[in-house]
Amino acid sequence: MRIVFAGTPDFAVPCLRAAAQHGEVVAVYTQPDRPAGRGRELTPSPVKREALLRGIEVVQPENFRSAASKAALRALQPDLMIVVAYGLILPQSVLDIPTYGCWNVHASLLPRWRGAAPIQRAIEAGDSESGVGLMQMEKGLDTGPVLLAQSLAIGAHETGGQLHDRLSELGAQVLRDGLGLLRAGIRPLPQPQPDAGITYAHKLDKTEARLDWSQPAAVLAKQVRAFNPWPMAEAIVAGERLRLHGAVALDEHHGAVPGTLLRAGRDGLDVACGAGVLRIRVLQRDGGKAVTAADYLNGRPDLRPA
Q: Do residues 27 and 57 lie in contact, with contact meaning Cβ atoms separated by under 8 Å?
A: yes
Residues facing 261 on adjacent strands: 271
Distance CA 279, CA 268 (A): 6
Backbone angles phi, psi at 62, to 5 degrees: -65, -35
Cβ(247)–Cβ(217) below 8 Å: no
Q: Which strands sit side by side in the sheet containing 102-106, from one edge to the other? A: 58-59, 25-29, 3-7, 80-84, 102-106, 129-136, 146-153
Q: How far, in Å, CA of 128 to CA of 224, rounded?
A: 16
189 annotated as a binding-site residue: no
Known binder of ligand: residue 111? yes
The Cα 150–Cα 83 span in angstroms is 18
Please report which helix (H) or strand (E) contains residue 175, including its range. helix 160-183
Strands 240-250 and 233-237, bridge-based pairing: antiparallel
Which residues make up each annotated binding site for (6S)-5,6,7,8-tetrahydrofolate?
A: 108-111
Residue numbers belonging to the annotated binding site: 108-111
